[in-house]
Amino acid sequence: MRPAAGALTALLLAGLLAVLTTAPAHAVGYRYWSFWDGSGGGWAYATQGPATARPADGDAIGFRFAVSEDSKNAAKPTAAPDFGAVCDSTPAKDGDKRVAVVLDFGTAADAPAGETPPPARTACAQVGKDASAGEALAAVAKPLRYDSAALLCAIAGYPKAGCGEQVSGKKSAEPSASGSDSGGEDGGPSAGLIGGVAAVVVLGAAGVWQARRRKRG
């Protein structure tokens, strides 16, 4: 039975190699401004768009420009949603609310060709009580650019062109919003994929070993 066990293990390992060599080299994502809600003390992907979300007085909102595959793996703003750090120096005003706005223009790896992302910054927007997140953003980060479908394309004039375009290529090496990268640093198959196939190899070898034990018994 030893030759059969070795042959099965070799076959399973060959399958693992085939999966790794045929996996796509790069994930497809989209280059866009993501919108984040910091009212819970940490960044959460916003469930509404900036035009309809209405942050309360004392809330923080964030915007991050990056290439992301989906909302689960979108890159968060690197600065914390700290309302006090952003707005403590802005006196409260009757009839208005203060909203901390965190702007993260992303990395050079995610920038459109020929453009350089500005440094990340924060600002305290003082707007009317009923103002939307988009109005708070407009108060501190003009010019804004939207497309015909009301998708936010540029903040403070960045980027100069493009809007949510599909990108196929290496993403920045920064951890994703879920706390883990969707692939290896070289854009190859994910650790989850490798681990899953490796588990098949281990289980297959274990099955052969158990069969040999039963025959011996």
Residue 168 pLDDT: 79
State the average pLDDT over residues 198-213: 42
Residue 70 pLDDT: 86
Residue 55 confidence (pLDDT) above 50: yes
Top pLDDT among 197 and 36 is at: 36
Q: What does pTM read for this prediction?
A: 0.68
Residue 21 pLDDT: 44
Question: Would you place residue 115 in the very low, low, confident or very high pLDDT band (cuts 50, 70, 90)?
Answer: very high
Residue 72 confidence (pLDDT) above 70: yes
State the average pLDDT over residues 142-151: 94
CA distances 5 to 15, 91, 196, Å, are 15, 75, 20
Residue 200 pLDDT: 37
Distance CA 201, CA 189 (A): 17
CA distances 184 to 27, 108, 155, 193, Å, are 11, 19, 30, 11
Mean pLDDT of the chain: 78
HSE (side-chain half, CA atoms, 13 Å) at 127: 23
Name the amino acid, one letter, at 152: L
